[in-house]
Amino acid sequence: MHFLRVALQISGLIVLFETGKWLSAALHLPIPGGILGMGILFLLLSTGVVHDQLFAQGASILLKYLSFLFLPLSVSAIVLIPFMDLYGWKILVVLITSSFIGFVATAIPAIHVVRKGSASHDDDR
Protein backbone atom coordinates (compact mmCIF):
# COMPACT_ATOMS: atom_id res chain seq x y z
CA MET A 1 0.00 0.00 0.00
CA HIS A 2 2.90 2.35 0.81
CA PHE A 3 4.40 1.82 -2.67
CA LEU A 4 1.07 2.60 -4.34
CA ARG A 5 0.63 5.80 -2.28
CA VAL A 6 4.14 7.02 -3.17
CA ALA A 7 3.64 6.12 -6.84
CA LEU A 8 0.39 8.10 -6.93
CA GLN A 9 2.03 11.09 -5.24
CA ILE A 10 4.91 11.09 -7.73
CA SER A 11 2.39 10.69 -10.56
CA GLY A 12 0.55 13.75 -9.26
CA LEU A 13 3.77 15.76 -9.29
CA ILE A 14 4.46 14.57 -12.83
CA VAL A 15 0.95 15.65 -13.88
CA LEU A 16 1.64 19.14 -12.48
CA PHE A 17 4.97 19.24 -14.32
CA GLU A 18 3.37 18.15 -17.60
CA THR A 19 0.55 20.68 -17.12
CA GLY A 20 3.15 23.41 -16.75
CA LYS A 21 4.93 22.23 -19.90
CA TRP A 22 1.64 22.20 -21.81
CA LEU A 23 0.72 25.69 -20.61
CA SER A 24 4.15 27.02 -21.56
CA ALA A 25 3.88 25.58 -25.07
CA ALA A 26 0.20 26.41 -25.62
CA LEU A 27 0.50 30.00 -24.45
CA HIS A 28 3.96 30.51 -26.00
CA LEU A 29 5.35 31.67 -22.67
CA PRO A 30 9.09 32.21 -22.19
CA ILE A 31 8.81 30.47 -18.80
CA PRO A 32 9.90 26.81 -18.55
CA GLY A 33 7.12 24.32 -17.94
CA GLY A 34 8.75 23.05 -14.76
CA ILE A 35 8.60 26.53 -13.26
CA LEU A 36 4.93 26.85 -14.21
CA GLY A 37 4.25 23.44 -12.69
CA MET A 38 5.88 24.51 -9.43
CA GLY A 39 3.84 27.70 -9.54
CA ILE A 40 0.65 25.69 -9.94
CA LEU A 41 1.67 23.48 -7.01
CA PHE A 42 2.48 26.57 -4.93
CA LEU A 43 -0.94 28.09 -5.68
CA LEU A 44 -2.72 24.85 -4.83
CA LEU A 45 -0.83 24.53 -1.54
CA SER A 46 -1.09 28.17 -0.51
CA THR A 47 -4.82 28.39 -1.19
CA GLY A 48 -5.48 25.18 0.72
CA VAL A 49 -6.97 23.38 -2.28
CA VAL A 50 -4.31 20.69 -1.79
CA HIS A 51 -2.90 19.71 1.60
CA ASP A 52 0.88 19.35 1.80
CA GLN A 53 0.62 15.77 3.05
CA LEU A 54 -0.86 14.80 -0.31
CA PHE A 55 2.60 14.93 -1.93
CA ALA A 56 4.90 14.64 1.13
CA GLN A 57 6.15 11.06 0.78
CA GLY A 58 6.55 11.21 -2.99
CA ALA A 59 8.40 14.52 -2.79
CA SER A 60 10.74 13.20 -0.09
CA ILE A 61 11.63 10.20 -2.27
CA LEU A 62 12.39 12.52 -5.19
CA LEU A 63 14.50 14.79 -3.01
CA LYS A 64 16.37 11.82 -1.57
CA TYR A 65 17.54 10.77 -5.04
CA LEU A 66 17.82 14.26 -6.56
CA SER A 67 21.57 13.99 -7.09
CA PHE A 68 21.04 11.19 -9.62
CA LEU A 69 18.93 13.55 -11.71
CA PHE A 70 21.97 15.80 -12.20
CA LEU A 71 24.09 13.00 -13.68
CA PRO A 72 23.21 13.86 -17.32
CA LEU A 73 24.37 17.42 -16.68
CA SER A 74 27.74 16.13 -15.52
CA VAL A 75 28.08 13.82 -18.49
CA SER A 76 27.22 16.59 -20.96
CA ALA A 77 29.99 18.72 -19.46
CA ILE A 78 32.48 16.28 -20.98
CA VAL A 79 31.39 17.46 -24.43
CA LEU A 80 32.25 21.02 -23.45
CA ILE A 81 35.94 20.34 -22.68
CA PRO A 82 37.22 22.55 -25.56
CA PHE A 83 34.97 25.34 -24.30
CA MET A 84 36.32 24.84 -20.80
CA ASP A 85 39.89 25.17 -22.09
CA LEU A 86 39.07 28.66 -23.36
CA TYR A 87 36.80 29.95 -20.60
CA GLY A 88 37.26 27.52 -17.73
CA TRP A 89 39.08 29.90 -15.40
CA LYS A 90 36.46 32.60 -15.91
CA ILE A 91 33.67 30.15 -15.21
CA LEU A 92 35.51 28.94 -12.11
CA VAL A 93 35.84 32.51 -10.80
CA VAL A 94 32.12 33.13 -11.39
CA LEU A 95 31.14 29.86 -9.70
CA ILE A 96 33.32 30.49 -6.64
CA THR A 97 32.17 34.11 -6.32
CA SER A 98 28.48 33.31 -6.73
CA SER A 99 28.75 30.40 -4.28
CA PHE A 100 30.39 32.66 -1.71
CA ILE A 101 27.70 35.30 -2.17
CA GLY A 102 25.00 32.63 -1.83
CA PHE A 103 26.56 31.27 1.36
CA VAL A 104 26.84 34.73 2.89
CA ALA A 105 23.31 35.70 1.82
CA THR A 106 22.02 32.55 3.49
CA ALA A 107 24.22 32.64 6.58
CA ILE A 108 23.47 36.21 7.66
CA PRO A 109 19.67 35.75 7.96
CA ALA A 110 20.18 32.29 9.49
CA ILE A 111 22.46 33.72 12.17
CA HIS A 112 19.91 36.42 12.99
CA VAL A 113 17.09 33.87 13.23
CA VAL A 114 19.14 31.61 15.49
CA ARG A 115 20.16 34.51 17.74
CA LYS A 116 16.59 35.79 17.93
CA GLY A 117 15.35 32.29 18.72
CA SER A 118 17.92 31.74 21.46
CA ALA A 119 17.15 35.17 22.93
CA SER A 120 13.44 34.34 23.12
CA HIS A 121 14.28 31.02 24.81
CA ASP A 122 16.41 32.89 27.36
CA ASP A 123 13.44 35.15 28.13
CA ASP A 124 11.28 32.10 28.85
CA ARG A 125 13.60 30.95 31.65
Closest to 32 (Cα-Cα) out of 23, 41, 40: 23
pTM above 0.85, yes or no: no
Does residue 9 contact residue 59 with C-beta atoms inside 8 Å? yes
Quick: pLDDT tens for 71-118.
666 666 677 777 777 887 888 888 889 989 988 999 998 898 888 876
At 1-52, the pLDDT tens digits run 788 988 999 999 999 999 999 999 999 988 888 899 999 999 999 998 988 8
Q: Which amino acid is at 74?
A: S
Can you give the residue ranges of every domain in the chain? 1-69, 77-125
pLDDT band at 119 (very low <50, low <70, confident <90, very high): low
Q: What is the pLDDT of residues 18-28, one digit of tens each?
A: 999 999 999 99
